[in-house]
Structure 1
C-alpha cells in the first residue's frame, strides 16, 4: 500500500498527524528564533526543527513506514518540552506546553493512522 486513497487522506488520524507535525515544526522555529530564544536575537537551537522536516513528505503522502519511524522521532521533542516546562520564563513555558501538546498529538495520530491502515489491509 504505497499510495493512500482519498478516503485515507480524509481520515482524522491523517489530518491530525499533518497538522500537529506542521505545528511542531512552526513552534520549534518560533520558540528559538523569536518567542523565547536562549540568547537574544535567536539561537542555533532552531536547527532542531530540521529533523522534523525529513518525514514531512512521507507523512503528506500517507506512507505507513514514515508514520512508524516518525512516531519515534518525535519522542526527543516530547522530552525536551517536558524538561523546559520548568524553565523560568513564562514565554518559554508556553512554548514548551504547546510543543508538548503537538508532540503528543502527533505521536497518537501516527499510532492511530498505522492501526487504521493495517485494519484496512487485513480486509482487502
Structure 2
C-alpha cells in the first residue's frame, strides 16, 4: 500500500511537471509573457521537491503536499476560464493526485516507522 501511495504521488508530481512543460511550450504558448518567464514561474517551484520526491523522503512529501495545493488552486482557476478549461482540469487532476499520494505516503510511512521502532 505504501508503494501505491508513493507511485500515486510521483505520478501526479511528474505528470504535473510534464503537463506544464508540454502545454506551455507546444500546445498553447502564452501571449502576454515570454515562454521562458512562464516556465520559470510555473516550473521552478516544482523543482524544489524533486530530489526528495524521487528518494521517497517523508518530510519532502509532507511539505510538498502544501505546494500541490497552490497548483490545485491554479488549476481550478484555469478550469473556470473557457479558453483553458482542459488545461485547468488536467492540472487539477494531477495536483490532486500528487496531494493525495503525498498525504497517504506520509501517513503510511509514519505508521511503518512507528511499528519498526522498538
Above 0.5 in TM-score? yes
1:78 and 1:103 in contact (8 A); partners too: yes
Instruction: Say whether residues 1:73 and 2:56 are aligned partners.
Output: no
Gap regions ≥5 residues in structure 1 = 1-6
1:20 and 1:102 in contact (8 A); partners too: yes
1:4-43 equivalence runs, <5 A: 11-39=3-31, 43=35
The two structures have a TM-score, normalised by structure 1, of 0.83
Q: How many residue pairs end up in the alignment?
A: 114
Q: How much has 1:38 moved relative to structure 2?
A: 2.6
Q: Which moved more, 1:54-63 or 1:30-39?
A: 30-39
* Structure number with higher relative contact order (C-alpha < 8 Å, ≥ 6 residues apart): 2
Gap regions ≥5 residues in structure 2 = none
SS at structure 2 position matched to 1:38: coil
If each structure's helix is expressed as a fraction of its own residues, which one has the higher value?
Answer: 2
2:11 and 2:97 in contact (8 A); partners too: no
Instruction: Say whether residues 1:94 and 2:86 are aligned partners.
Output: yes
Runs of 4+ in 1 over 3 A off after TM superposition: none
